[in-house]
Chain A
Amino acid sequence: MKKQRLLLRTVILILLLGAVGYTIYANFFTEKTRVTVGSEAPDFVLTDLNGKKHRLSDYRGKGVFLNFWGTWCKPCEKEMPYMNRQYEVYKNQGVEVIAVNVGEPELSVKKFAERFDLKFPVVIDQQDQVMNAYDIDPLPTTFLINKDGKIVKIITGTMTESMVQQYMESIKP
């Protein structure tokens, strides 16, 4: 009977701790979004400044450095030259950069791209659809997507040039 009681107590405590643990885990250790590290990056189609359509799933086999940015966001501005330089190095090694602007006027985006002489495709998410799918909250946010289309890492906040370099290295196919 004593053993039975200990067993019962153990089971109840495990159940309770399980419930508490799950809640804490779900709340603090997972992204509250569909887009998490390890999951498949949601597909999207967006048009770049030259009118060319970019579909994420077409880049299977390549690593994709997916950056969300806005012209008003100073940290985004800071990392643009880094991305530009590293893109020159890694584009021949199978790493693609896609910079998704968060729905600003084409004029502003074009001027910005000209000012920084951006070499990689810059697309505009006119209807916030991609932003919703990726649950973008702070800018900049960068998703590292490997050759299988899986998200390897999510970076929010500014990156230094060496970070950009390391990240591109990490998704090299």
Chain B
Amino acid sequence: MEQVKCECGHVNPHGTVFCESCGKPIVEDSTKKLLDMRYEGSARRSQTYNKTIIDKVWNFFSSVKVGVWLIVITLLASAIGTIYPQEMYIPPNVTPAEYYEEQYGWTGKLYYELGFNNLYGSWWYMLLIASIGVSLVICSLDRVVPLYRALKNQGVVRHETFLRRQRLFSVSKVDNYDKLIDEVKEKLTKRRYHIREENGNILAEKGRFSRWGPYVNHIGLIIFLIGAMLRFVPGMYVDEVLWIREGETKEIPGTNGKYFLKNEKFTFEVYEKDKEKEVFQEAIDRVGSGMVAKNYQSDVVLYERVGPIVPGEEPKLKKVKEYKIRVNEPLKYDHYALYQVDFKMNEPNKMSFHLVDKNTNEQFGLVTVDLRNPKPAYDLGNGYRVELLSYFPDFYFDENGNPATKSKIPNNPAFVFKMITPDKPKGEVSFVAIRQTIEPLGDNKYKMSFAGLETKNVSGLTVRRDFTLWILGVGGAIFMIGLIQGMYWNHRRIWLKRVNDEVLFAAHTNKNWYGLKNEIKQIIDGTELVMPIDQAEEEKKGAQGGDDSGATK
């Protein structure tokens, strides 16, 4: 392999910008006054080897430019996904293709046709996220290894060019070099610099570990992504919805038929005037009594199924525990958690009717229809009898004008009754819906008159089981550690080199130049050293036209 030997004797990998040890530029680039200190001038391998397909793929993902573009595209896509609701949030009974156009016009149609209605689960969105992950791994690997090598191999004695081309640099005439060195060393030690000395030259360094911050951060991100990926592994992540009526016992979805839940009662409470402590009165008066929710609560009993699990068979249940599920107080068992997320008040459950003679208003008996499981016939005695011919729990007229049902949920129950009475033994047919009666076969003598409605509340629960959470937590923590490490510490270096009776002084930091300048001021205070000038600022000023630097030289 091609390697470059510097005049100081150090052998550098091919592609190195300036010598790892002494800092003498290998590729002479005299157009710029200052050295580009990024990655310590080390050879980023990606930019050096580009032969096989593997190398080409590697190099694509190794580019920070590519990484930034991936992030920008992902950000844009994510933003677009929030313009209109995602498909999972639109009403369940509509066709998405029509819904988006109806609601939002041609832009909605376009939105749907371009597939933004299901953006976050689309294959190309996932590919983008995955590419960011790949880019993170390869970018980091490609930089952290050479950087580590360069920082490990850096020499104390640096080439004059290297020092002169640092951003902070000065030359001072010194009479007593040894005294100066001792003074400076003492001050540097006080400021917690690690000092290396070679032939009277000094390299003082601190906070090098801050350079690893971004890479630690990336490791955290990658762990986070792995956690997110594991959600797709069966059994690692369960997220189901359970709607359960009061009094109902239902299998908990996602538990493979192992657990059942009974909903004893759902409670919805509000803050009401004069029912709360004195301190709340003012707030209640301001928003109005009964306007603020106080509690959503499902009183439930958890059962475990015993014996073999055969779906459909009447389960043998063993009580596990009773619990009151409230918002943010889930029922937790066997890594499953049941959260209170939604509710429906007063769903019709039973409806009662009187069989009434329309003329005399005489009543011949009460019919109570269980809306979940109605009986086909109701015998009222004395020859009076009511048959339920048809039942529509969620009634509407379909496109042909026939009564039909939208679902099995009794939101808007409607019935076709046949009323059999001693004087009408063949029976009269009546169509009864809420606030609506139709007599399809001509005028009836009798009618079913509404007598009462019994309702039940329904709890909407979310079933969760998440074995990836701790991985996400660990990833997040490492992410933060990396961030702090890179943000709150700076990697500062100061070089002193003696050339004849002059001292070259140069300094570098990866961030916070202001802080470094202040520190140098204190270090050289009372010594013969000259305060270094900020060559980058000089250049900027120079470019702006006026050179009004009062720098000492």
Residues of A within 8 A of B (CB): 1-2, 5-6, 9-10, 12-13, 16-17, 19-20, 22-24, 26-28, 34, 42-46, 55, 70-72, 74, 102-108, 110-111, 123, 125, 127-130, 132-133
A128 smallest CB distance to B (angstroms): 6
Partner of A128, one of B55, B226, B251: B251
Residues of A within 8 A of B388 (CB): 107
A83 smallest CB distance to B (angstroms): 21
From B69-77, B205-213, B369-377, the one touching the partner chain is: B369-377
Contact status A104-B408, CB under 8 Å? yes
Contact status A6-B374, CB under 8 Å? no
| CB nearest neighbor in B for A55 | B310
| CB nearest neighbor in B for A123 | B312
Known pairs A6-B55, A72-B408, A128-B250; A24 contacts B311 (CB<8 A)? no
* B81 touches A (CB below 8 Å): no
Partner of B312, one of A23, A45, A105: A45
**How many angstroms between the C-alpha atoms of A107 and B251 in the bound complex?**
23
* B89 touches A (CB below 8 Å): no
Q: Mark interface residues in B119-144 (1 if CB within 8 Å of A CB, else 0).
A: 00101001100100110011001000
Partner of A108, one of B54, B251, B391: B391
Query: Could you list some 11 contacts between A and B, CB below 8 A?
Result: A26-B233, A27-B126, A28-B123, A34-B256, A43-B311, A45-B310, A71-B405, A72-B405, A105-B373, A107-B376, A107-B391
* B window 361-396: CB within 8 A of A: 372-376, 388-391, 393-394
**How many angstroms between the C-alpha atoms of A102 and B311 in the bound complex?**
13
**How many angstroms between the C-alpha atoms of A12 and B54 in the bound complex?**
10
Residues of B within 8 A of A20 (CB): 127, 130, 133-134
| CB nearest neighbor in B for A71 | B405
**How many angstroms between the C-alpha atoms of A19 and B229 in the bound complex?**
8
Partner of A44, one of B1, B54, B312: B312
* B52 touches A (CB below 8 Å): yes
Residue of A16, A19, A102, A106 ringed by the most chain B CB atoms within 10 A: A16
A49 smallest CB distance to B (angstroms): 12
Residues of B within 8 A of A19 (CB): 130, 133, 226, 229
* B313 touches A (CB below 8 Å): yes
* B397 touches A (CB below 8 Å): no
| CB nearest neighbor in A for B142 | A9
| CB nearest neighbor in A for B135 | A16
**How many angstroms between the C-alpha atoms of A149 and B45 in the bound complex?**
56
Residues of A within 8 A of B164 (CB): none
**How many angstroms between the C-alpha atoms of A43 and B310 in the bound complex?**
6
| CB nearest neighbor in B for A135 | B253
Residues of A within 8 A of B253 (CB): 128, 132
**How many angstroms between the C-alpha atoms of A105 and B408 in the bound complex?**
8
* B window 134-156: CB within 8 A of A: 134, 137-138, 141
Residues of B within 8 A of A130 (CB): 311-312
| CB nearest neighbor in A for B308 | A43
Contact status B250-A105, CB under 8 Å? no
| CB nearest neighbor in B for A101 | B408
Contact status B257-A133, CB under 8 Å? yes
Beyond contacts A12-B138, A72-B405, A107-B373: 7 other A-B pairs, Cβ-Cβ < 8 A, are A1-B1, A12-B137, A45-B313, A71-B405, A106-B373, A108-B408, A111-B389
| CB nearest neighbor in A for B131 | A20
Partner of A24, one of B57, B126, B315, B375: B126
Residues of A within 8 A of B57 (CB): 13
Known pairs A23-B229, A24-B123; A129 contacts B52 (CB<8 A)? no
Residues of A within 8 A of B49 (CB): 2, 5
**How many angstroms between the C-alpha atoms of A9 and B46 in the bound complex?**
11
| CB nearest neighbor in A for B229 | A23
Give the 4 A-B residue pairs with the shortest CB-CB distance, closest first.
A20-B130, A129-B311, A26-B232, A44-B312
Partner of B394, one of A26, A72, A129: A72
**How many angstroms between the C-alpha atoms of A43 and B309 in the bound complex?**
9
Residues of B within 8 A of A27 (CB): 121, 123, 126, 232
Residues of B within 8 A of A13 (CB): 54, 57-58
* B107 touches A (CB below 8 Å): no
Residues of A within 8 A of B389 (CB): 111
Contact status B251-A111, CB under 8 Å? no
* B407 touches A (CB below 8 Å): yes
Contact status A24-B408, CB under 8 Å? no
**How many angstroms between the C-alpha atoms of A19 and B374 in the bound complex?**
53
Contact status A9-B58, CB under 8 Å? yes
**How many angstroms between the C-alpha atoms of A71 and B374 in the bound complex?**
15
* B404 touches A (CB below 8 Å): yes
**How many angstroms between the C-alpha atoms of A55 and B479 in the bound complex?**
53
Q: Mark interface residues in B399-430 (1 if CB within 8 Å of A CB, else 0).
A: 00000111110000000000000000000000
**How many angstroms between the C-alpha atoms of A22 and B229 in the bound complex?**
9
Partner of A129, one of B226, B312, B375: B312
| CB nearest neighbor in B for A132 | B253
Residue of A43, A72, A107, A133 ringed by the most chain B CB atoms within 10 A: A72
Partner of A72, one of B121, B390, B406: B406
A64 smallest CB distance to B (angstroms): 14
Residues of B within 8 A of A1 (CB): 1
Partner of B407, one of A28, A72, A111, A129: A72
Contact status A105-B372, CB under 8 Å? yes
Contact status B251-A105, CB under 8 Å? no
Contact status A5-B408, CB under 8 Å? no
Contact status A127-B251, CB under 8 Å? yes
Contact status A23-B232, CB under 8 Å? yes
B349 smallest CB distance to A (angstroms): 13
